[in-house]
């Protein structure tokens, strides 16, 4: 049967429908919404895990279910589950909007699942837009409405601008080749990639994905949106949204099949500018969320190195990096959410004395920050090692050197976070963050995952290799 391959998407669609109904009930019951969302997200993770080996082509071959897509669906549903798990104190969103918040979160996850499976220009464009529209509205749901609408406006304007550019790129691609399926394009594009029209078309098309990944030159929204969005949503944008962008970029860049071309050079230039801009801007930030936003611009640059290799090793590295980003960024945002229990934006000073107030949270934050900086033996070190060695295999020595240099710059502000949490004494005594038993279990699990995957990455690398084998 065809629809069985479509179960994860159908499941999340049904969950979104359920929240549509809940949002129309008169009684506002936040605990009910939270538990329903948490159990649905948990069920979604199980459904995605069960469907991981499904394969097939759906909807006139515009939709490809393969290990690559299913693996990313597992990551996406894991991201959704983790983010919903943080929503027990959803203080950044007005009480009457909680069910809408979950409705849009599920819709956005659904759209991103569609995105990672799309292999046709229309389905890629439609699912990319659906996920973006959900996020625009979600950002505007911030209880502090001034902050929310400003961030949503900026996100919306940059988002529709980049998607219009992407659509024009798709149109040029179609005009130049007459093809709309990625599987057809991959056979034709490598031969014509050096034609000006095709190159312009591909670069414009990638613009839409760069927006999703917050990569230069479409990164301007990230700091404002991270600061303006509710903390839990910022966690979702930093994790799940990035994972989906990595997946679709891998698919599209692999379809160009270009080697040693102008395209690789321009992607390398974008990667270098992204990480340099992100790292340098992060050095001077005082707001914790703004710092994390600049750090994710820089991390996007590192991921792009894996993607632009256009080799199986590069794709493995990018997939592994996406998983690592999911865990590392989520752990950082877990700390943000728990420290700012009132739903506000914590500054770096708010971290002062965290190691006494909540040793577990401080330890989790330190591990996540070390992983982001790429210090062994964490998952972040393994991810960076994979990306850089894939680039070295292709002989991009200068690119790797510049990236290494950037890693050193980034150490400064990552260590500032650790210093704030461990060495600084708070000026005024602030109450300890409240961690329930389940939150403690989650935090411990994240610490263990960050360290253990850093030590034994092999099973995951093997899985990434199987997944990426369908790309090349």
Partner 1 sequence: MNVPLTHLLTLAGGLFFIGIWCAVTRRNLIMVMLGIEIMLNAAALAFVGASLRWQQMEGQAVALFVLAIAAAEVSVGLALIICIYRRYRTLDPAKVQ
* Sites of contact with partner 1 (CB under 8 A): 121-122, 125-126, 129, 133, 136-137, 140, 145-146, 149-150, 152-153, 156-157, 160-161, 164-165, 167-168, 170-172, 174-175, 178, 180
| Cα–Cα distance, 347 to 339 (Å, whole number) | 10
| Cα–Cα distance, 209 to 242 (Å, whole number) | 10
- Asked if 219 and 275 count as a contact pair (C-beta separation under 8 A), the reply is no
Nearer to partner 1, 28 or 153 (CB): 153
Helical H segments across 25-97, by residue range: 30-50, 67-85
Nearer to partner 1, 154 or 289 (CB): 154
Q: 7-23 vs 98-117: helix axis angle to the nearest 10?
A: 160
Structure tokens at 137: 């509205």
Q: Which of 117, 89, 106 is nearest to 23 (CA)?
A: 106
Quote the least distance from Cβ 178 to partner 1, whole Å.
4
Nearer to partner 1, 103 or 324 (CB): 103
- Asked if 470 and 251 count as a contact pair (C-beta separation under 8 A), the reply is no
**Residue 151 belongs to what H/E stretch?**
helix 145-177
Nearer to partner 1, 236 or 333 (CB): 236
Q: Which of 248, 263, 119 is nearest to 181 (CA)?
A: 119
| Cα–Cα distance, 284 to 280 (Å, whole number) | 8
Q: Output DSSP code: residue 66.
A: -
Nearer to partner 1, 171 or 273 (CB): 171
Burial call 432-468: b when 16+ CB within 10 Å, e when fewer: ebebeeebeebbeebbebbbebbeebeebbebbeebb
Structure tokens at 399: 């690119």
Nearer to partner 1, 137 or 262 (CB): 137
- Sign of the four-CA dihedral 171, 174, 177, 178: negative
Nearer to partner 1, 12 or 154 (CB): 154
Nearer to partner 1, 175 or 434 (CB): 175
Q: How far is CA 118 from CA 46, 115, 128, in A?
A: 22, 5, 10
């Amino acid at each position: 049967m065809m629809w069985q391959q479509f179960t994860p998407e159908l499941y999340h669609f049904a969950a979104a429908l359920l929240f549509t109904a809940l949002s129309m009930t008169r009684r506002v019951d936040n605990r009910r919404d939270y538990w329903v969302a948490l159990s649905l997200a948990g069920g979604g993770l199980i459904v995605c895990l069960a469907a991981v080996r499904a394969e097939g082509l759906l909807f006139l071959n515009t939709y490809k279910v393969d290990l690559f897509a299913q693996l990313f669906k597992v990551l996406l549903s894991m991201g959704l589950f983790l983010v919903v798990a943080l929503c027990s104190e959803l203080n950044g969103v007005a009480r009457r909007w909680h069910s809408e918040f979950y409705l849009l979160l599920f819709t956005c996850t659904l759209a991103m699942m569609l995105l990672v499976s799309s292999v046709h220009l229309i389905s890629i464009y439609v699912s990319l837009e659906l996920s973006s529209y959900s996020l625009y509205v979600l950002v505007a749901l911030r209880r502090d409405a001034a902050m929310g609408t400003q961030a949503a406006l900026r996100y919306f304007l940059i988002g529709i601008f980049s998607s219009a550019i992407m659509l024009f790129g798709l149109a040029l691609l179609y005009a130049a080749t007459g093809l709309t399926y990625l599987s057809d394009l991959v056979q034709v594009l490598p031969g014509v990639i050096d034609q000006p029209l095709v190159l312009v078309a591909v670069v414009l098309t990638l613009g839409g994905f760069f927006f999703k990944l917050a990569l230069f030159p479409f990164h301007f929204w990230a700091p404002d949106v991270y600061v303006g969005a509710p903390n839990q949503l910022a966690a979702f944008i930093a994790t799940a949204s990035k994972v989906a962008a990595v997946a679709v970029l891998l698919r599209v860049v692999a379809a160009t099949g270009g080697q040693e071309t102008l395209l690789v050079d321009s992607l390398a230039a974008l990667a270098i500018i992204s990480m340099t801009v992100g790292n340098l801007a992060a050095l001077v930030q005082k707001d914790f969320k703004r710092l994390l936003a600049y750090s994710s611009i820089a991390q996007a640059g590192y991921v792009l190195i894996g993607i632009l290799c256009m080799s199986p090793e590069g794709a493995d590295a990018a997939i592994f990096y996406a998983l690592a980003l999911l865990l590392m960024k989520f752990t950082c945002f877990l700390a943000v959410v728990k420290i700012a229990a009132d739903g506000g934006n914590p500054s770096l000073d708010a971290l002062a004395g965290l190691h006494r107030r909540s040793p577990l949270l401080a330890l989790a934050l330190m591990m996540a920050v070390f992983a982001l900086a790429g210090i062994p033996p964490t998952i972040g070190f393994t991810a960076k090692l994979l990306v850089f060695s894939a680039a070295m295999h292709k002989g991009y020595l200068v690119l790797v050197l510049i990236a290494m240099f950037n890693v050193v710059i980034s150490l400064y502000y990552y260590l500032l976070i650790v210093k704030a949490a461990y060495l600084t004494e708070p000026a005024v005594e602030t109450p300890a963050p409240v961690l329930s038993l389940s939150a403690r279990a989650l935090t411990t699990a994240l610490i263990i995952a960050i360290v253990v995957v850093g030590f034994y990455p092999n099973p995951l690398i093997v899985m990434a290799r199987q997944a990426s084998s369908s790309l090349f």
